[in-house]
C-alpha cells in the first residue's frame, strides 16, 4: 500500500484523496490481498499533512481495516 501521503492535505503527496478515499483504497487493496492469499505487512508511511488529525485518522483506518479483514 502507499501510505497516507495520498491525502489532499499532505504537503508532499499529490494524489489528493480524502480520508474516505484513502480508506477505500486500503479496503480495496487489503480485500484483494486476502482473496489472493497474498501476505500483507502494515506499517505507517507518509504523513506530511499540516493537519495532524488527518494523518492519525488515515493511519488508524488502515490498521483497523487490516484487523477487520484479516482477523
pLDDT category, 1, cuts 50, 70, 90?
A: low
Please report whether residue 6 resides in a domain: no
In a domain, 13, yes or no: no
SS3 37: coil
Please indicate, yes or no, if residue 32 is contained in any of the structural domains. yes
Which residue range is the domain that position 57 belongs to?
A: 19-70
Query: Residue 56: which residues within 8 A CB-CB, separation 6 or more?
Result: none
Total domains in the chain come to 1
Domain contains 11? no
Q: How confident is the model at residue 2 (pLDDT cuts 50, 70, 90)?
A: low
User: For residue range 26-52, what is the model confidence (pLDDT) as tens digits?
Assistant: 999 999 999 999 999 999 888 888 899
User: Phi and psi dihedrals of 47, rounded to 5?
Assistant: 115, 60
pLDDT band, residue 59 (cuts 50/70/90): very high
Provide mean pLDDT across the span 4-20: 91
Amino acid at each position: 500500500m502507499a501510505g497516507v501521503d495520498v491525502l489532499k492535505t499532505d504537503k508532499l503527496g499529490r494524489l489528493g484523496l480524502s480520508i474516505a478515499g484513502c480508506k477505500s483504497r486500503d479496503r480495496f487493496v487489503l480485500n484483494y490481498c486476502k482473496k489472493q492469499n497474498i501476505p500483507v505487512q502494515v506499517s505507517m508511511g507518509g504523513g506530511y499533512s499540516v493537519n495532524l488529525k488527518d494523518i492519525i485518522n488515515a493511519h488508524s483506518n488502515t490498521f483497523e481495516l487490516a484487523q477487520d479483514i484479516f482477523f
